[in-house]
């Protein structure tokens, strides 16, 4: 079970809780869900007929799920920097600690880089994004440039493919801790 440790400091008890704080847990699972939606929508798009309304809708879902990831990534990173995260659980050797820290860092970079690259792909294609239901567009940061669009889109797609593996590895590691090592790694993120 997840434990709370009490430290005695100058006579007043300080409670250091080993689990992630509720905002960190909320950010983690909300962002994970949005990423699943972004991937599912762009995969579905590939199966839908070119020029059809469902295909355009899939792409809109993809884009807005991705923008929501970016919007949540900002308070999430601030929370992480200011409030930190629980330390490694006892019994984890340096390779496990280093490996998980490296994967978490990569995931944080991805949360910012991937939506920005997606948005710049649109901009280089000559589009912004219009907020549905409102007559307002998000700003356009770069001018239309077909060659640049192809390069940014390539990076966005390559990163998208690579992160199937990184995210998969991360999720499998969590399940391995839970079912095989039977420790609190997953429980403290729930
Ligand atoms: C975490 C967020 C995101 C993830 C995981 C993601 C993932 C992907 C993946 C895997 C592809 C390649 C699909 C394929 O190979 O057919 C793709 C394509 C694309 N994404 Fe994203 N994306 C994200 C955010 C965004 C955002 C925020 C935008 C724009 C606002 C965007 C715009 C695009 C565009 C324009 C394409 C090219 C679609 C095409 O022309 O075939 N993406 N994305
Ligand atoms: C799109 C999917 C995901 C992303 C982007 C993601 C990202 C992250 C990041 C950045 C952290 C570090 C949190 C911090 O210290 O601030 C983290 C921790 C964690 N994630 Fe995920 N995650 C995803 C999916 C999952 C899934 C599917 C699982 C479970 C099966 C999972 C389980 C965990 C656990 C248990 C931790 C805490 C690890 C520890 O304390 O060492 N994550 N995740």
Average pLDDT over residues 85-102: 90
Say if residue 96 is in the same domain as residue 177: yes
Domain coverage including residue 57? 21-86
Average pLDDT over residues 100-115: 97
State the closest ligand 1 atom to the C-alpha of 129, by its place in the atom list counted from 1: 30
Ligand 2, atom 30, residue with closest C-alpha: 171
How many Å lie between the centroid of ligand 2 and the Cα of residue 28? Answer: 6
What pLDDT does 11 receive?
Answer: 31
Mean per-residue pLDDT of the chain? 90
Confidence of residue 7 (pLDDT cuts 50, 70, 90): very low
Is 11 a domain residue?
no
Say if residue 33 is in the same domain as residue 77: yes
Ligand 1 site, residue 38, Cβ cutoff 6 A: yes
State the closest ligand 2 atom to the C-alpha of 177, by its place in the atom list counted from 1: 35
State how many domains the chain has: 2
Tokens 């820290």 found at: 101
Ligand nearest to the CA of 152: 1
What pLDDT does 88 receive?
Answer: 87
Ligand nearest to the CA of 160: 1
């Amino acid at each position: 079970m997840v434990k709370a440790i009490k430290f005695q400091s100058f006579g007043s008890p300080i409670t250091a809780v080993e689990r992630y704080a509720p905002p960190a847990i909320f950010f983690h699972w909300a962002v994970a869900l949005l990423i699943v939606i972004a991937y599912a929508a762009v995969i579905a798009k590939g199966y839908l007929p070119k020029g059809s309304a469902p295909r355009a809708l899939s792409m809109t879902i993809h884009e807005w799920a991705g923008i929501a990831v970016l919007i949540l990534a900002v308070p999430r990173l601030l929370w992480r920097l200011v409030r930190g995260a629980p330390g490694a659980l006892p019994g984890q050797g340096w390779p496990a600690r280093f490996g998980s820290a490296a994967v978490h860092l990569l995931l944080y970079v991805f949360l910012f880089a991937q939506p920005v690259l997606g948005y710049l792909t649109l901009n280089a294609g000559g589009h912004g994004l219009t907020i549905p239901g409102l007559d307002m567009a998000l700003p356009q940061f770069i001018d239309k440039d077909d060659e640049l669009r192809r390069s940014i889109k390539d990076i966005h797609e390559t990163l998208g493919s690579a992160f199937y593996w990184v995210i998969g590895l991360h999720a499998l590691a969590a399940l391995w801790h839970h079912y095989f090592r039977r420790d609190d790694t997953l429980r403290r993120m729930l």
